[in-house]
A and B are shown apart, each in its own frame.
Chain A
Amino acid sequence: MKLLQTAVHEIETAAELEKIINENENVMVCCGRMGPMCIPVYDVMEELEEERTNVKFYSMAFDSPEAGIIRNAPMCSSFMGLPFTVYYKNGKMVKATTSIQNRKQITDILDEHLS
């Protein structure tokens, strides 16, 4: 069941996430809620979907048990702010951020890690 009201495609299971990161070179996933720190990140991702066709953009509900694959990732172990945003390159998590990020912060990461 989808929990997020965003146009960014919502991943519902850990298995689906595994399949996506194994089938796509560059993947960005924002794991959050429909809260004030998360919505601006989804908005930026919606816009970037059209501009960055080399990257696949997804959302995942933070409160879903299936999102434990992100919540419990080593790169997110010290995070204490929503959303947890993670970046995968060739199936491997290469970058993770916590709390709100603006467009420039996101595009800088895409340029550095998922270009």
Chain B
Amino acid sequence: MDEVFDVMIVGAGAAGLTAGIYASRAKLSTVILNEGAIGGQMVLTNEIANYPGVETTNGFVLANTMKKQAKDFGCKIKSNVKIVEYKLNEKIKSVVLDDGRTFSAKAVILAQGGRPRSLNIPGEETFKGRGISYCATCDGEFFTDKELVVVGGGNSALEEAVTLTKYASKVTIVHQFNQFQAFEHAVQEAKSNPKIDFVMGSELRGFFGNGKLEKVSIENLATKDLFDKKVDGTFIFIGYLPNTESLEGVVTLNERNEIVVDREMRTNIPGVFAAGDCIAKRYRQVTTAVADGTIAALSASEYLRTSK
């Protein structure tokens, strides 16, 4: 039989890496299986200024530090794997990879994280990188002196809209509701920026252009009126989706496909825990993911100790 780890963690974002640090430091044999980039959503953040005890850094640096900490404590990390099957109901739990390999453990922590939500409207895939972007710090300079639309009303949308005014001549924020979900300081900063205006209660319906984005179609949700707006670019910040498609029917998910956990990060299956952006919760920050990962690892440790 292949090696049976004490703890198997699925996902290597802030939650998964933190769980890896805590579990391996507790001398539990630990493996992290990761399907995407190490760091998860953390590496999508160019500047992290509010991680306590760490002066302003970027997500890549913070993720790599966490990865090194986990490995230094003995945690094994397998990247770019594809899990095709979960077997979590037995005492020894296992996952099967697409290459046929099986990894087994006595406890599992699910920390698959999330991914940026897309609009899924006509033209979005066609103009990705040709006017449509999901990262202001990556692509903002391509739009120097250009007119932009930013879609969304949360913290990311408003903060990135302000960032984009460093480059763009004008930024129009399009939001489906008539009020923002962002923190008040972000709302005030956007509202006081003379380069930003707002189209509220509206949604984009399509992207159009010839080789590059040239206009968007916007619908006023109250009047149902459609109008076109000439733009050079559109940045989309409309939240995240949990990476839990492969867990349907495996653990209990809520109506938003988030994993349901209790305060100790326990799922409905004994010995299976979850942490980070894939669980049902309100606030999604690096700090909250780190807290989730810590609790999940400590709970897994207790489970291993008490279930012998």
Interface residues of B in 24-64 (CB under 8 A from A): 36-39, 43-46, 59-60, 64
Query: A39: CB under 8 A from chain B?
Result: yes
The answer to whether A79 touches B129, judged by C-beta atoms less than 8 angstroms apart, is yes
User: Is A90 among interface residues, defined by CB-CB distance under 8 A?
Assistant: no
Q: Which B positions have Cβ atoms within 8 angstroms of A?
A: 36-39, 43-46, 59-60, 64, 79-80, 128-135, 137-139, 142-143, 211-212, 233
Residue of A nearest to B143 (CB): A80
The 10 closest A-B pairs by CB, nearest first: A98-B129, A99-B129, A81-B129, A36-B44, A80-B142, A47-B80, A40-B37, A35-B138, A37-B138, A82-B138
Question: Which of B39, B79, B129, B211: most chain A CB closer than 10 A?
Answer: B129
- Chain A residues within an 8 Å CB radius of B139: 37, 80-82, 99
A26 at the interface (CB under 8 A from B): no
CB <8 Å contact, B43 and A36: yes
Chain B nearest CB: distance from A54 CB in Å? Answer: 19
**Could you pull out 17 A-B pairs where Cβ atoms are within 8 angstroms?**
A34-B60, A35-B46, A35-B137, A36-B45, A36-B138, A37-B134, A38-B138, A40-B36, A80-B131, A80-B133, A80-B139, A81-B132, A82-B139, A98-B128, A99-B128, A99-B133, A103-B80
The reply on A97 being an interface residue by CB < 8 A is yes
Distance (whole angstroms) from the CB of B171 to the closest CB of chain A: 16
Task: Report chain A residues within 8 Å CB of B137.
Answer: 35
* CB-defined contacts of A43 to chain B, threshold 8 Å: 36-38, 79-80
A44 within 8 A of B: yes
CB distance A81 to B37 under 8 Å?
A: no
Q: Are A35 and B135 in contact (CB under 8 A)?
A: yes
**A38 (CB) vs chain B CBs: closest residue:** B138
Q: How many A-B pairs fall under 8 Å by CB?
A: 72
Q: How far does the alpha carbon of A28 sit from the alpha carbon of B133 in the complex, in Å?
A: 23
B180 shortest CB reach to chain A, Å: 24
Question: 9 more A-B contacts (CB under 8 A) besides A43-B79, A43-B80, A82-B138?
Answer: A5-B60, A35-B135, A36-B46, A36-B135, A43-B36, A78-B211, A80-B143, A82-B139, A97-B129
Q: How far apart are the CA atoms of A37 and B139 in the complex, in Å?
A: 9
A35: chain B residues at CB < 8 Å are 46, 60, 135, 137-138
Say yes or no: A81 contacts B80, CB within 8 Å: no
Nearest residue, chain B, Cβ from A37: B138
A98 to B138, CA, bound (A): 12
B79 neighbours in A (Cβ, 8 Å): 43, 47
Picked from B39, B43, B130, the residue with its CB within 8 Å of the CB of A81 is: B130
Q: Give the chain A neighbours of B131 by CB distance below 8 A.
A: 80
Main secondary structure of the interface of A (DSSP, over half): loop
Complex CA–CA separation, A82 to B129 (angstroms): 7
Indicate if the CB atoms of A79 and B37 lie closer than 8 Å. Answer: no
Shortest A84–chain B CB gap in Å is: 9
Indicate whether A9 reaches chain B with its CB closer than 8 angstroms.
Answer: no
Q: Is A33 engaged at the interface, CB distance under 8 Å to the other chain?
A: yes
Which of chain A's residues have a CB closer than 8 A to the CB of B39?
Answer: 39
Tell me the bound Cα distance from A38 to B138 in angstroms.
9
A34-B60, A40-B36, A43-B80 given as contacts; is B46 within 8 A of A78 (CB)?
Answer: no
Kindly list chain A residues whose C-beta atoms are within 8 Å of the C-beta of B36: 40, 43
Task: Judge whether A44 and B80 touch: CB under 8 Å.
Answer: yes
B182, chain A: closest CB distance, angstroms: 20
A43–B134 Cα gap in the complex (Å)? 19
- Docked complex Cα distance between A39 and B142 (Å): 19
Interface centre among B45, B131, B133 (most CB of A within 10 A): B133
Interface string of A14-36 (1 = CB under 8 A from B): 00000000000000000001111
